[in-house]
């Protein structure tokens, strides 16, 4: 399907150049920002076009959809990220499929991930999800909880806390999003020097299709982009 590939390739090039421009405005190198494509809106054939166009870091928000896509696309070298709420009873089936869980939103989930990872004999990179908008419908720890959570998960040897993830609120404009992203970065910068051993907090996953440029200006190292990659095919 040459048209599909051309459309997706054009979208990917546009997103990558916007990432590079935002990085430039912030005096950052574009290669310090990883683009993760969120494929929840599309089927496996469109994901194939995205991989063919050159993006292999992909994410799903629902574990069941991640399982289905990973199975349908098992022949491709995709690094999957789980970016939405992960129920504890879905950890066992999800962990073998993913390179990172970006949405650890409770200490009980962290403990379940650690348990399964120890059985699998692996160490799973994770991010702690922080509810930076304060919206009740959002998952994630309150910013004030994170220091205690880091202490609580410090002994979990099969889980590696790489950083923090946050989503801007649905209500609010770009400047509200910018303030929320700046809050996440400030939290990370404050906790980094006092982190327990083995926790580095180098990653800040923030920014989606509508707000990734301000997220990059505020320090994002991972941006999770869905709709902007699929314009013209949705
Ligand atoms: C859907 C989703 C995204 C991508 O959203 P777009 O606005 O389509 O770019 C990013 N992160 C999470 C957690 C999501 O659920």
What are the tens digits of pLDDT across the range 116-138?
Answer: 999 999 999 999 999 999 998 88
Q: CB–CB of 133/169 below 8 Å? A: yes
* pLDDT beyond 70 at 194: yes
Q: Is residue 100 part of a domain?
A: yes
**Beta bridge mates, 82:** 60, 101
pLDDT at 108: 98
Q: Is residue 217 part of a domain?
A: yes
Q: Is 224 in the pocket of ligand 1 (CB under 6 A)?
A: yes
What is the mean predicted confidence (pLDDT) over 200-212?
97
Q: CB–CB of 223/212 below 8 Å? A: yes
**CA–centroid distance, residue 86 to ligand 1 (Å):** 15
Q: Is residue 22 part of a domain?
A: yes
Q: Is residue 157 part of a domain?
A: yes
* pLDDT beyond 90 at 2: no
**CA–centroid distance, residue 193 to ligand 1 (Å):** 30
Q: Is 229 in the pocket of ligand 1 (CB under 6 A)?
A: no
Q: CB–CB of 102/139 below 8 Å? A: no
**CA–centroid distance, residue 119 to ligand 1 (Å):** 31
Taking each helix axis as running N to C, give the angle between helix 146-153 and helix 174-191, from 0 to 180 degrees, rounded to the nearest 10: 50
Lowest mean per-residue pLDDT among 1-5, 68-72, 111-115, 193-197: 1-5
Q: CB–CB of 167/208 below 8 Å? A: yes
Q: Which domain holds residue 19?
A: 2-229
What are the tens digits of pLDDT across the range 133-189?
Answer: 999 888 999 999 999 999 999 999 999 999 999 999 998 899 999 999 999 999 999
Taking CA atoms only, the protein residue closest to ligand 1 atom 5 is 226
What are the tens digits of pLDDT across the range 45-77?
Answer: 999 999 999 999 999 999 999 999 999 999 999
* pLDDT beyond 70 at 1: no
**CA–centroid distance, residue 223 to ligand 1 (Å):** 9
* Pocket probe mutation, ligand 1, options 15, 41, 208, max atoms within 8 Å of Cβ: 208
Q: Is 166 in the pocket of ligand 1 (CB under 6 A)?
A: no
Q: Is residue 234 part of a domain?
A: no
pLDDT at 175: 96
Q: Per the confidence metrics, is the pTM higher than 0.95?
A: yes
**CA–centroid distance, residue 165 to ligand 1 (Å):** 12
Q: CB–CB of 103/127 below 8 Å? A: yes
Atom of ligand 1 nearest to the CA of 228: 9
Q: How many domains does the chain have?
A: 1
CATH code assigned at 17: 3.20.20.10
Largest CA distance in the chain: 52
The count of other CB atoms within 10 Å of the CB of residue 162 is 21
pLDDT at 234: 87
Element (H, E) at 126: strand 124-130
pLDDT at 198: 80
């Amino acid at each position: 399907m040459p048209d599909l590939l051309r459309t997706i390739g054009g979208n990917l090039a546009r997103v990558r150049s916007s990432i590079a421009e935002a990085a430039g405005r912030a005096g950052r190198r574009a290669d310090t920002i990883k683009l993760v494509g969120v494929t929840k809106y599309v089927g496996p054939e469109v994901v194939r076009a995205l991989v063919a166009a050159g993006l292999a870091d992909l994410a799903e928000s629902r574990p069941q959809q991640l399982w289905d896509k990973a199975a349908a696309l098992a022949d491709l070298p995709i690094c999957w990220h789980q970016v939405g709420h992960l129920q504890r009873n879905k950890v066992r089936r999800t962990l073998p499929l993913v390179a990172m869980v970006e949405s650890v939103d409770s200490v009980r989930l962290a403990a379940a991930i650690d348990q399964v990872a120890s059985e699998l004999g692996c160490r799973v990179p994770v991010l702690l999800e922080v509810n930076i908008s304060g919206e009740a419908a959002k998952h994630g720890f309150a910013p004030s909880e994170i220091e205690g959570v880091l202490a609580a998960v410090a002994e979990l040897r099969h889980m590696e806390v790489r950083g923090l993830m946050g989503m801007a609120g649905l209500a609010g404009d770009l400047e509200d999003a910018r303030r929320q992203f700046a809050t996440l970065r400030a939290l990370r910068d404050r906790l980094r020097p006092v982190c327990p051993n083995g926790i580095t907090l180098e990653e800040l996953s923030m920014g989606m299709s509508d707000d990734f440029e301000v997220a990059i200006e505020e320090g994002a190292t991972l941006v999770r982009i869905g709709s902007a990659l699929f314009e013209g095919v949705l």
